[in-house]
Amino acid sequence: MTDAAASLSVRRLTEWDAAELQALTAEYGSPLYVLDLERVRQNYRRLEAAFSDADILYAVKANALGDVLSTLREAGAGLECASAGEVQRALEAGASGSEIHYTAVNPPAGDLDWIVDAWADHPELTVTAGSEDTIDRLADRGYTGRLCLRVNPGIGAGHHEKVRTGAAAKFGVPAERAVDVLADAADRGFDVVGIHAHVGSGVSSDQLEAHREFVARMGDLARAVADAVGTLEFVDVGGGFGVPYREDEDPLDLESVADATRDAIGEIDAELAIEPGRYFVADAGVLLTEVNTVKDARETTVAGVDAGMTTLIRPAMYDAYHPIRNLTAAGDDGRERLPQTVAGPICESGDVFCTERELPVSKRGDILAIGNAGAYGYEMANQYNSRPRPASIVLEDGDVRLARRRETVDDVTRAEREARNASDSSPLASANRKNDHGRASDTDND
């Protein structure tokens, strides 16, 4: 990365070295995720400077690669985890219990079993509950540790209706019931330490008023909880800081966001906590894919590539825009440009990365780069159509390292073969009849 790129608040796709990315594809194959760990650090330092008085956690769900978790933890971030699996990844990355918040939604029984077991070894772990039922389930398992309550503030914002969590019934206890719920939890012996809410993902500059109103409600709630229950350790207002995916979009003014957050929350006797995910990793990653088919259709020219909605689902799921660059044509000024549809190999009409995007004429063997792929890229990859997931590499201090090997078809079918080879009476078969952590349900011991 150049010094100029490092100083920018967003890294555009054009700032990646085309020749270097093509060389990586030649060595590691396609499709391929590439993540620049130094850019992750730079994004953290920029946010840390703006929110100098806040406790910063990284929302692991954005990109759970162990290298990312280690990089951000070493930079000073805590880790906010949405599942037992993410907590295990955090511990494997070297995090202590005090650096981890477990914030699950409708957690499966096996998750809670695993978390309570982990709490025995890591008593500083914080568990965030999003319902009274979850608190009851924790109590049933003997958990009396650090408890944070996720509240529903009734305000949502974000880049798509599917990620506007602040007003969705699925998330959190209604704010108007929070004081009573926390008072009851304290009476039952829980160590009540905080309140939490998240307005949504990908909040843009034109949605900052909704963010301000949401934070103000959290400040009011924090003061009410303090009066009724006692002083809180922290008030977590989530993350959701958007990044510019389109080339003509401006980045968030983080200093203004931080100032507005402090003003809106008001005086509270608790630490402000935030938990961005996308902001740290989105522009630190690209997805590389090879053109394998070019055809003139009735209304468009289709450039068929070996990545698809199983590799990067955001365009299909959210109608999300990602910048696309033909790396092979980067040094060929003579290539004509024309509108093209870039489509993957999945048997779905929605398996397209763009439609009628003006790009240099595609040729078989060209390498395309899809930008801003560091967040919710590999994390949402899947094996639909029995397609193996891609490899991931990381860049750090001039070195290149394979961080996750490419799956094979053998990997895709392994679980079925193991099931066939196991007898019904074997421990493996018995475990698979239950959930991931060996418990069938919360009603087993009723």
* 175 and 217 Cβ atoms separated by less than 8 Å: yes
The pLDDT assigned to 164 comes to 41
Please report whether residue 15 resides in a domain: no
Domain CATH code at residue 268: 3.20.20.10
Please report whether residue 302 resides in a domain: no
Task: Cite the beta strand spans of 280-336 per DSSP E.
Answer: 285-296, 301-305, 324-326
The pLDDT assigned to 333 comes to 67
Please report whether residue 127 resides in a domain: yes
Is 247 annotated as ligand-binding?
no
Q: Which residues have CB under 8 Å from 205's CB, separation 6+?
A: 242, 250, 252, 253
Q: Phi/psi at 5 (nearest 5 deg)?
A: -65, -35
Instruction: Check if 354 is active-site.
Output: no
Please report whether residue 410 resides in a domain: no
Please report whether residue 342 resides in a domain: no
| Exposure string for 138-160, b = 16+ CB within 10 A, e = fewer | beebebebbbbbbbbbebbbbbe
The pLDDT assigned to 200 comes to 61
Q: Phi/psi at 181 (nearest 5 deg)?
A: -65, -45
Please report whether residue 255 resides in a domain: yes
The pLDDT assigned to 207 comes to 62
- At 406-444, the pLDDT tens digits run 999 999 999 999 998 886 555 555 555 555 555 546 765
- At 252-267, the pLDDT tens digits run 888 888 988 999 999 9
The pLDDT assigned to 347 comes to 95
Q: Which residues have CB under 8 Å from 61's CB, separation 6+?
A: 82, 86, 277, 376, 379
The pLDDT assigned to 431 comes to 56
81 half-sphere exposure, CB direction, 13 A CA radius: 29
* 225 and 186 Cβ atoms separated by less than 8 Å: no
Q: Which of 81, 148, 347, 354 is catalytic?
A: 347
Is 143 annotated as ligand-binding?
no
Is 278 annotated as ligand-binding?
yes
3-class SS of residue 380: helix
| Exposure string for 240-260, b = 16+ CB within 10 A, e = fewer | bbbbbbeeeeebbebeebbeb
Is 275 annotated as ligand-binding?
yes
Is 348 annotated as ligand-binding?
yes
Among residues 163, 199, 155, which one has the least CA distance to residue 314? 163
Please report whether residue 114 resides in a domain: yes
| Averaged pLDDT, groups of 10, the chain, 446 residues long | 55 96 98 98 96 96 98 98 97 97 95 97 97 96 97 60 49 89 96 88 61 87 93 92 89 87 92 95 98 94 98 95 96 86 97 96 97 97 97 96 97 92 62 55 56
**DSSP states along 381-401:** ---GGGPPPPEEEEEETTEEE
Q: What is the dihedral of CA 83, 89, 93, 97, to 10 degrees?
A: 40
The pLDDT assigned to 211 comes to 76
The pLDDT assigned to 209 comes to 76
- Element at 56 (helix H, strand E): strand 55-59
DSSP H helices in 229-327: 254-265, 278-281, 314-318
Please state, in angstroms and rounded to a whole number, the distance separating the CA atoms of residues 288 and 290: 7
Q: Which amino acid is at 340?
A: Q
Please report whether residue 106 resides in a domain: yes
Is 318 annotated as ligand-binding?
yes
* 233 and 272 Cβ atoms separated by less than 8 Å: no
Q: Which residues have CB under 8 Å from 19's CB, separation 6+?
A: 330, 331
Which two tokens mark 331? 């040094």
Residue 37's CB is within 10 A of a number of other CB atoms, namely 22
Residue numbers of the domain that contains 252: 38-280
Residue 362's CB is within 10 A of a number of other CB atoms, namely 23
Q: Which residues have CB under 8 Å from 77's CB, separation 6+?
A: 44, 56, 57, 58, 280
Is 314 annotated as ligand-binding?
yes
Total of domains in the chain: 1
